[in-house]
Structure 1
């Protein structure tokens, strides 16, 4: 009796399977290979249809709701269920659907395809330098960056306590901690297989600052231009500061390290020192004394009427009580050093001191003229002359 019941159960299952085969439903599955790729690469689309044996199935392809254009060249179709796309473009990205129709029944299968633009890459700075023990940051940037990898002397760099890589789709940074001399060399930043940028890293030992040019004592008349010079070397590059003895830091000089007073006054009198720093140490120069002399200035006015004649001229003189041949004379107009070219300005001989010849006098020659007489680097005499040009 039991054997008979089991036989009836098996017959029922067999009948159910045969019924499903005869009336089975339509199913569709779509595969893209690969589904993510770069421009100029190729991909294929496959539509797998399960239907009743012997039943005719019509297949149609669409991309984002529009029929796929089969041109037989770049986009080819060997069979209705297979589509092959070569030299892929960014415009080929989208949702591809395969519509399978059997009788009055239509089923769909879909797949997403992403075609990435061609990656372009360049180094932000082609040459970098670092100091032993510092943190170095190397950067590359571009478009459509992906799967960015860094290499040092052709060896791949992985994330570790020494290396850290931070990347986006347009920039990648390699951070190197505790830089050593062995970290010098060529680094490569690669996106995929084709886009590569290089950065040359030079690692140097730190060099403590050293003063190479010390300032010198200077004595000058009030109102004249005074400049103290200081030079220093070191690595990293040094920054130069100036201090006044028994005072606070006076000035930070970002360029050549010189301390300049455009018009020196009594408050500038004092003892100065320059300090060179670079984060690794510091160096101090010798002291330099600035003395401001209150020299008596003789003031005289010379009135010259401006005419149209080119030959009009005037001579300004300063009586120093000694010949200018014993020193160097400099003339200034309204604080600006004059260029003696023997055309507009000349220095005629004057036994009592210094003289300035101004030729072809014009209205623009009106102003205050200063004469400074130097012996060596020391200002020995100073005088002022006022020239009034009347029209």
Structure 2
């Protein structure tokens, strides 16, 4: 009547598909009592005497097929009526980081008498995406095709039916997002000895690193050319500053760039500022 749980951790490239065997016969991926999660976890709910035996996981990819050593499940017969037991989460969700469009599983396995009811919510009270999220088995939350809106803290709640007795477990889902430039630098025309500022703002998860290129090569910062956060400032402009400047935003998910042109005009090409200006009221 309780819950049995086996886990199987596999590292491979390309990623392996994990299945399970019971007494050397393949188990179904899901029944009313058995759930196999794609991350290698086997859950058996409402354990029965017939579930006793040897279990092992099988990892398969295009390169090979590997079987684990066996683990034994022993089922003891209950003597007398089962006492009342408050809900207890024995395998709660774990913090997870995922890339865009991946599938994420937040596990939640609970015991108690009577069997607790599992429910999910977000700590920020936002609704859980009903189109991309579903409950697998007896309480595992599966989110497919994740995007930045799915990031947040998720709460698993195990409640005794008909009561307020409950317990909770929480996990943070972080969705990694490639950089995107939200404020692009603009091309400018400036006189010799003048000052120019190129703005560049980017967002992504984790926060992108900003760097600058001049005609495709790294900008050499010095006393005239400086970076303030993500802004590039050039003072005392000289003719050699006339170039194409590229803002590069990058994180572990990718990179993106945006460019702008600086045109330097010589002072003799422009009229000088007016001098000795005064005004009279007529």
Please tell me the TM-score bracket, short chain as reference: 0.3 to 0.5
Task: Return the TM-score normalized by structure 1.
Answer: 0.34
Bigger fraction of residues in strand? 1
Higher helix residue share: 1
Which is greater in Rg? 1
TM-score, normalised to structure 2's length?
0.45
